[in-house]
Structure 1
């Protein structure tokens, strides 16, 4: 990202740019960074957008914030892995591939009993269930199954998920304060075998992720990746 960004910059883009400048030592440990008004002017956005980005970084321990003292780069940031939820479209396009999605199911649905221990929502919590296939150059890339709490993100119910995927909409509009993820192998059932055009029982890589804000569950998603997928991360 350039020093000057396009109008309409999202809080997630600001967060990533601030993090880049910190990681590349443009802003040194202990240094006070520009205030919210200055950053809002640079990024051509509202101060509230900058505030959200800095709050997220403060929650992660990357910066420290004190009233009337400004925001300072943490001298001793926590030594832990920070999981950034990727936008699948951007992941595909970054590799020079063509991206598209196929929204298979979008409906209000109760949480199945087998997920009750993983996604702790009340029995009366309204949930929107979606199933989406993400494509990489017209080849199935990820099969996504998701439950989203409309108590946590009521605007999600009106989102045009044919235009913007559930993954992208939630990353851009539903900040989270915590989450957990698991990584495992699955054997393709009939649905996955059909989606990826592989034999039933074929080995696939999968992840499950929960996010929440202030202990309020936001979404539970299961992502199953195409055969041979390898996940790489840095820390």
Structure 2
């Protein structure tokens, strides 16, 4: 009987996970190379590569140049965090949503932002700052840079009635991102906007998202005191 053909990376990913969970490929096992898997699954090598890359990012595989790809000795279950539409998040709490944009300009980002969005060659980006409010009370301050080389349509958006957060999630697909959580001392105007004392601790999320190897946006979200985040723990099967 001929081997079934796998025409998309998600199907290949599911099959690799099945073999890992069934211990066909036990922890530490070096799996076949991409060329052999592509021949077995009847697909392009690039399709196999994407599936294995996603599983490596999920902690299920370990990939090393010249050493091949092996099943992780200690597969990691990772917390997964959805990117919410802030308006929807507030309305789901039973509160009314309002939004105020403070600034919008096209400029070369500072070096720290260039390192995330355009490390190879600096490009003009769109910088937007805005405040999201829940029932008239400050909820989160958004400080965002958008890579116009990846999302040129953003240059034509005013973001005066719809936030960059909501517009990007509705119109720009992303494949993956990285995120960090910190507690920081509220400073200056940011503390005033969030209605808290200067120096008071606030919860901050820094997030950058990509479409494959092209950075889309990086954002700093500073939340008013009392914010709580919820996540789930599991092994993602797609990114």
TM-score normalised per structure 2 = 0.64
1:87-130 per-position Cα deviation (integer Å, ceiling 9, x unaligned): 00000001110001100000012211233434444444120000
Distance of aligned partners of 1:206 and 1:227 in 2 relative to their CA distance in 1, 3 Å threshold: same
The verdict on how the C-alpha distance between 1:141 and 1:151 changes in structure 2, with shifts beyond 3 A counting, is same
In 2, Cα distance between the equivalents of 1:194 and 1:59? 50
2:190 match: secondary structure = helix
Distance in 2 of aligned mates of 1:189 and 1:127: 25
**Residue in structure 2 matched with residue 137 of structure 1 by the alignment:** 135
Q: Are 2:80 and 1:128 equivalent residues in the alignment?
A: no
Are 1:210 and 2:208 an aligned pair? yes
Counterpart position of 2:192: 194
Which of the pair has more CA radius of gyration? 2
Q: 4+ runs of 1 displaced by more than 6 Å?
A: none
Q: For 1:39-89, what per-residue CA distance to the aligned partner results, in whole angstroms no more than 9, with x for missing partners? A: xxxxxxxxxxxxxxxx8x93995799x99xxxxxxxxx9654443211000
Deviations 1:156-202 (A, max 9, x none): 11124112110001011111111100000110111112112222101
Greater relative contact order (Cα < 8 A, sep 6+): 2
Match of 1:155 in 2: 153
Does 1:58 pair with 2:56? no
State the alpha-carbon separation in 2 of the partners of residues 130 and 123 from structure 1.
21
Query: Does the aligned pair in 2 maintain the 1:121–1:217 contact within 8 Å?
Result: no
Residue 82 (structure 2) aligned to one of 78, 84, 108: 84
SS, match of residue 117 in structure 1: helix
Give me the CA root mean square deviation.
2.7
State the distance in 2 between where 1:109 and 1:130 align. Answer: 11
Number of positions where the alignment pairs a residue of Structure 1 with one of Structure 2: 171
Distance 1:60 1:193 in 2: 49
Give runs of aligned pairs for residues 8-87 of structure 1, distance below 5 A: 58=10, 80-87=78-85
Q: Determine the C-alpha separation between the residues in 2 that align with 1:150 and 1:114.
A: 17
Give the TM-score of the pair, scaled to structure 1.
Answer: 0.65
83 and 191 in structure 1: CA distance in 2 versus 1, 3 angstrom threshold: same
